[in-house]
Amino acid sequence: MTGENTNSGNTGDKGKLPNSHYFKIMGYLLTACWVGYILAISGGDMEHPMFDYIFTVPLAVWIVGMIVAKIIQVRTKSDRP
C-alpha cells in the first residue's frame, strides 16, 4: 500500500527494454523529425527541391542501420545487437 515493490524476490530486468528497441525508437523519432523538418522548410510545397528527399533519406538510413546491426550481430556472435 505504500507504493513499494512487493515483488522484491524478482531481480530480473522486467521493465528494461532490449537495446534494439531503443535504436528503433530513436529511428522513429529521427524519421519524424526529418519529415517535420522537410515539411517546415518546404512549407508543404511538393515542388520544393528538398521535398524529393522526404522519404528517400529516412529509407536509406534505415537500410544502412539494418546492415550495420547485422554486421554487429555477426561480429559479436550474439542473438541481438
CA distance 31 to 60: 11
The model scores a pTM over 0.85? no
Residue 7 lies in a domain: no
Domain that holds residue 41: 19-76
Q: Is residue 53 part of a domain?
A: yes
Residue 81 lies in a domain: no
User: In this structure, is residue 11 part of a structural domain?
Assistant: no
pLDDT at residue 32 in the model: 95
Q: Distance of CA 63 to CAs 42, 56, 79, Å?
A: 25, 11, 19
Per-residue pLDDT of the chain (81 residues; tens, 9 = 90+): 555 555 544 445 577 777 677 778 888 999 999 999 999 999 989 999 999 999 999 999 999 988 988 888 788 876 655
**pLDDT attached to residue 37:** 94
CA neighbours closer than 13 Å in the CB half-sphere of residue 47: 0
Q: What's the structural domain count of the chain?
A: 1
pLDDT of residue 26: 86
